Structure 1
Amino acid sequence: MQKKTVMLGVGALVVLGALLAWTFAPRPLQVEAAAVVQGRFEAGIDEDAKARLRDRYSISAPLAGRLARIALREGDAVQAGDVVARITPAMPALLDERSLREQQARVTAAQANVQ
């Protein structure tokens, strides 16, 4: 090999090493500075949330109706016989001729089952 080729190769390696060192060198970050004062910390969260239940219970009633707002909170004491919830009856649907015949057929079938 010629001396010139070796020198060019060594020079290229030195330039490549310097370029890699400059590329990966840590750079200073811009930060915001403020004076420290002692005081009360207040923070608020203004976002929508979704309630997630740990246990899900199904409660059924023998009749259709509307459940009134429950006044009890979690952890309230409840004695046997206390009213926990009130269900008001739903407005009955208007009976047309077909619905009336279906209801009459159900009554007839229930009477036949009793006998």
Structure 2
Amino acid sequence: MSELIEKVQSQVMTIDRETPEFGVGDLVRVHVKVREGEKERIQVFAGIVIAKKGRGLQATFTVRRISYGEGIERVFPLYSPFIAQIEVERKGEPKRAKLYYLRKRKGKEAMTV
């Protein structure tokens, strides 16, 4: 059964768009398709990747940004059809696999890795 699941996952992952190589600590811009009624538009969510989790089709990544003094985190499935594009703006050099400590920081220090 697991061989069948792996075969289906590999086919879906190759059909999907190309995902750039990015890691924890990188500053990314995620272009998300937003549907409002019958219209569809693209909204950009930019921030630091603080976690990557899972593999295959279940892979997700968490992006954190500061907006009007509040920290906002959003979890994206890596192979979601709602993600139009992922751009890597800046590479980070983290010393940990998960950057949850950024939640306690404020201002500019919350955005530097």
State the TM-score, normalized to the length of structure 2: 0.17
Which has the higher Rg, Structure 1 or Structure 2? Answer: 1
Structure with larger RCO (C-alpha < 8 A, sep 6+) = 2
